Chains A and B, each alone.
Chain A
Amino acid sequence: MINNIGLGEGSQTVSLVVLTAMLIASAMGVVLLQNIVYAAFLLGATFISVAGLYVLLNADFVAAAQVLIYVGAVNILILFAIMLVNKRQDYQDVKYGALRSVVTGVVCLGLFALLGVTVTSTNWAIAPSIAKLPSTMVVIGQHFFSDYLLPFELASVLLLVALIGAIVLARRELVPEPVQVGQAPSEDTLELLEKPKEQLVASK
């Protein structure tokens, strides 16, 4: 079956294999690598391979949105967060740390096996042919402004709420500086004075 962007069957299969290898390898790197900065960059590689899968699924607009929003915004945000909380510390061992990881791995493999059996044993009602749309963007826009208008507007309100909430949560409380007339600015005036933070110690 020829893809809407004109790829033949063989090249689609090759692209799928290459993208899957990239996706799984970089996702494993995100989870398993010790260095969190490498993990963040591999997260970007994961998002780009997912965008490639979207192109294989005839979704050019969503692939572009994926690259713009995930790689361009979310990944950069995560990198900034890593830089802001960059504290090199050795985590103290918890009880049964290795056992926990092993049990989690077994549970995840079991879940994967369950999902795989479900996927392969279900008789999916696949459409006989894939419709050739003039442009996915036009169809998506028509959905947004007709039958999905309310969720679309709610999403904009939610983004505004999240924006304000993130600002409120991450804002530092600054001490207002006393203004003194006729005094040369000292070195300290260039610093932002922060309220002394009260340290919440672990209560255990």
Chain B
Amino acid sequence: MSLEPFLIIAAALFCIGIYGLITSRNAVRVLMSVELMLNAVNINLMAFSNYLDSASIRGQVFTIFVISIAAAEAAVGLAIVLSIYRSRDTVDMEQFNLLRW
């Protein structure tokens, strides 16, 4: 087993995340796509940590930081979605233009 399969898998997951981020209409699904992209980055970090730096596993430390930041991001993002839903009564991304113009 080598490094490249993991990097290809991470790239595929990242591209799926980008596709969902751009095309989703539901705000909750956009947050789920962001989580997919963060997981792709984590796979990259872990692969490099194992194959390039296996003695002092710094990539795993970074992955734990990313996981904690992602948890905080999910909590705040869902709170924002909930608050927008209360005031606009929809979760459609196409109708969120409060800050657009």
Contact = CB atoms under 8 A, between A and B. Distances in A.
Interface in B32-56: 32-33, 35-36, 39, 42-43, 46-47, 49-56
B52 A125 contact: yes
Given A50-B39, A78-B31, A169 B79 contact: yes
A24 B16 contact: yes
A190 interface: no
How big is the B interface, by class? 35 or more
B88 A200 contact: yes
A119 B8 contact: yes
A43 B32 contact: yes
B87 A200 contact: yes
B35 A74 contact: yes
A162 to B, nearest CB: 3
Interface residues of A, number: 90
A69 B74 CA distance: 11
Given A43-B35, A100-B23, A143 B50 contact: no
Interface of A is mostly: helix
Contacts of B7: 115, 119
Nearest to A80: B78
Query: Looking at A13, A58, A107, A162, which has the most chain B CB atoms within 10 Å of its CB?
Result: A162
Nearest to B73: A162
Contacts of A18: none
Interface in A107-123: 107-109, 111-112, 115-116, 119-120
A69 B46 contact: no
Contacts of A200: 87-88, 98
Given A81-B78, A144-B61, A24 B13 contact: yes
B65 A57 contact: no
Contact of B76 (A23, A84, A89, A166): A166
B69 A155 contact: yes
A120 to B, nearest CB: 6
A119 B61 contact: no
Contacts of A189: none
Contact of B82 (A62, A148, A163, A170): A170
- Nearest first, the 3 A-B pairs at minimum CB distance are A162-B72, A31-B20, A115-B11
